[in-house]
């Protein structure tokens, strides 16, 4: 019958009221009379009307969209956080847009998202973005940093205390009797990696244990860098009896290579990871690791950005979620 999708005008005609009334019936039902409300409902049914979001967005000057800027979408670390974000955003009527900050020519694309007509809010998971772009001004939507942060940028941040997590790990290893403890680092410029390394150094120093830079192996959070770390670790004549890895993926890569070389975990080396991704409970040995409440991080981030978008000026600012050491089978007392 209708050659095009029904508009609010069609509903109004069928219901015998004005478009204003239809609009009100749909968005604030409490201001229209019961009879009219019913008529509108029926007309909506009859016409199969669905609202045109673009028109509403234009008029209301918002997009109902939240953009998540994620460094490397392929990293499974983010998936559970995203699930948490989505679980809060969706019921509130917001759309979750995902943008990968890696890859060629993304700068342009990111810049595009940074204005209000694109998104009402921004969740930034990447601490390496140029801080200038994220400064709050009239043009750009509110920003919440998640996990990572940018030094000197005062923006609400949801994160964990990474240094404290590193201390937990080191305390656990030291408590088991290890006195020679190394660290597999995350990527050089990364704030998480830095905080974890700094926490590890501090924990060693506090206990009077050696802080040897040649036991801090370079890496980048990836499996492959864990594997390389294992090669370097093995090659060292005086190698640490335990290592704390800046991520679970590093730990998996490390353990895999160590085992492939015929050594045993935890017998020959104890290993602690960071993140507690699902899988590490099931590898052999099950990985002792620092558990990040990933879903809670996502949920918290979503709640804060919603509060900001809906006008709450100061919705709590920085939020630091608790970390926890999960002891499994990859750590034990050193051999002797």
Partner DNA sequence: CGAGCTGTTGTAATCGATTACACTATCGAA
Partner DNA sequence: TTCGATAGTGTAATCGATTACAACAGCTCG
Decide: is 112 part of the binding site for DNA (CB under 7 A).
Answer: no
Contacting its own copies (CB under 8 A), which of 52, 130, 198, 317? 52
Decide: is 126 part of the binding site for its own copies (CB under 8 A).
Answer: no
| Among the residue ranges 146-154, 213-221, 277-285, 310-318, the one whose residues contact its own copies (CB under 8 A) | 277-285
State how far the Cα of 317 lies from the Cα of 319, in Å rounded to an integer. Answer: 6
Say which residues have a Cβ less than 8 Å from residue 269's Cβ, sequence separation at least 6.
233, 239, 240, 241, 242, 243, 258, 263
Decide: is 278 part of the binding site for its own copies (CB under 8 A).
Answer: yes
Smallest distance from DNA to CB 34, Å? 7
- Peptide bond before 144: cis, by omega within 30 degrees of 0? no
- The three-class DSSP label of residue 30 is helix
HSE of 97, CA atoms in CB hemisphere, 13 A: 17
Decide: is 111 part of the binding site for DNA (CB under 7 A).
Answer: no
Smallest distance from DNA to CB 49, Å? 7
Contacting its own copies (CB under 8 A), which of 31, 42, 46, 58? 58
State how far the Cα of 6 lies from the Cα of 208, in Å rounded to an integer. Answer: 75
Q: Are 275 and 259 in contact (CB under 8 A)?
A: no
Element (H, E) at 321: strand 319-321
How many CB atoms are closer than 10 A to CB 235?
8
Helix axes 191-206, 162-175, angle to 10 degrees: 40
Q: Count of residues binding its own copies (CB under 8 A)?
A: 64
Per CB under 7 A, contacts with DNA among 2-21 are: 4-5, 7-9, 16-21
Strands, sheet with 216-217, edge to edge from the N-terminal-most edge strand: 216-217, 181-184, 242-245, 270-275, 288-291, 324-326
- The three-class DSSP label of residue 219 is coil
State how far the Cα of 211 lies from the Cα of 202, in Å rounded to an integer. Answer: 9
Contacting its own copies (CB under 8 A), which of 19, 36, 97, 161? 97
State how far the Cα of 74 lies from the Cα of 174, in Å rounded to an integer. Answer: 34
Decide: is 123 part of the binding site for its own copies (CB under 8 A).
Answer: no
How many CB atoms are closer than 10 A to CB 211?
15
| Among the residue ranges 22-30, 151-159, 242-250, 282-290, the one whose residues contact DNA (CB under 7 A) | 22-30
Decide: is 55 part of the binding site for its own copies (CB under 8 A).
Answer: yes
Smallest distance from its own copies to CB 261, Å? 11
Decide: is 276 part of the binding site for DNA (CB under 7 A).
Answer: no
Whichever of 179 and 295 has its CB closer to its own copies, that residue is 295
Interaction site with DNA (CB under 7 A): 4-5, 7-9, 16-21, 23-24, 26-27, 31-33, 35-36, 49, 51-52, 55-56, 58-61
Interaction site with its own copies (CB under 8 A): 4-5, 48, 50-55, 57-58, 61, 63, 65, 72-76, 78-80, 82-83, 86-87, 90-91, 95-100, 103, 105-106, 109, 115-118, 138-139, 223, 226-227, 249, 252-253, 255-257, 259-260, 277-279, 281-284, 286, 295
């Amino acid at each position: 019958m209708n050659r095009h999708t029904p508009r609010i005008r069609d509903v109004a005609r069928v219901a015998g009221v004005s478009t204003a009334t239809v609009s009100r019936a749909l968005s604030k039902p409490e201001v229209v009379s019961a009879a009219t409300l019913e008529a509108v409902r029926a007309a909506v049914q009859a016409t199969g009307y669905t609202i045109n979001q673009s028109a509403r967005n234009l008029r209301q000057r918002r997009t109902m969209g939240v953009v998540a800027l994620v460094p490397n979408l392929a990293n499974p670390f983010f998936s559970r956080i995203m699930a948490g974000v989505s679980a809060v955003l969706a019921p509130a009527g917001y759309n979750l847009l995902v943008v990968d900050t890696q890859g060629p020519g993304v700068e342009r694309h990111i810049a595009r998202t940074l204005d209000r007509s694109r998104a009402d809010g921004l969740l930034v998971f990447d601490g390496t973005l140029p801080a200038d772009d994220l400064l709050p001004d009239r043009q750009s939507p509110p920003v919440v940093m998640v996990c990572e942060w940018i030094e000197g940028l005062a923006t609400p941040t949801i994160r964990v205390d990474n240094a404290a997590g590193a201390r937990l790990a080191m305390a656990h290893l030291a408590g088991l009797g290890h006195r020679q403890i190394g660290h597999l680092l995350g990527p050089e410029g990364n704030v998480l990696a830095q905080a974890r390394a700094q926490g590890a150094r501090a924990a060693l120093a506090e206990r009077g244990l050696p802080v040897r830079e040649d036991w801090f192996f370079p890496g980048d959070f990836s499996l492959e860098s864990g594997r390389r770390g294992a090669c370097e670790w093995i090659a060292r004549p005086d190698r640490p009896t335990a290592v704390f890895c800046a991520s679970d993926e590093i730990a998996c890569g490390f353990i895999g290579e160590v085992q492939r070389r015929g050594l045993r975990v935890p017998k020959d080396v104890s290993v602690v990871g960071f993140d507690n991704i699902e899988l590490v409970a099931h590898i052999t040995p099950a990985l002792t690791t620092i558990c990040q409440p990933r879903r809670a991080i996502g949920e918290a981030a979503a709640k804060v950005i919603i509060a900001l978008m809906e006008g709450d000026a100061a919705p709590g600012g920085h939020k630091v979620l608790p970390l926890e050491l999960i002891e499994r089978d990859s750590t034990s007392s050193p051999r002797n």
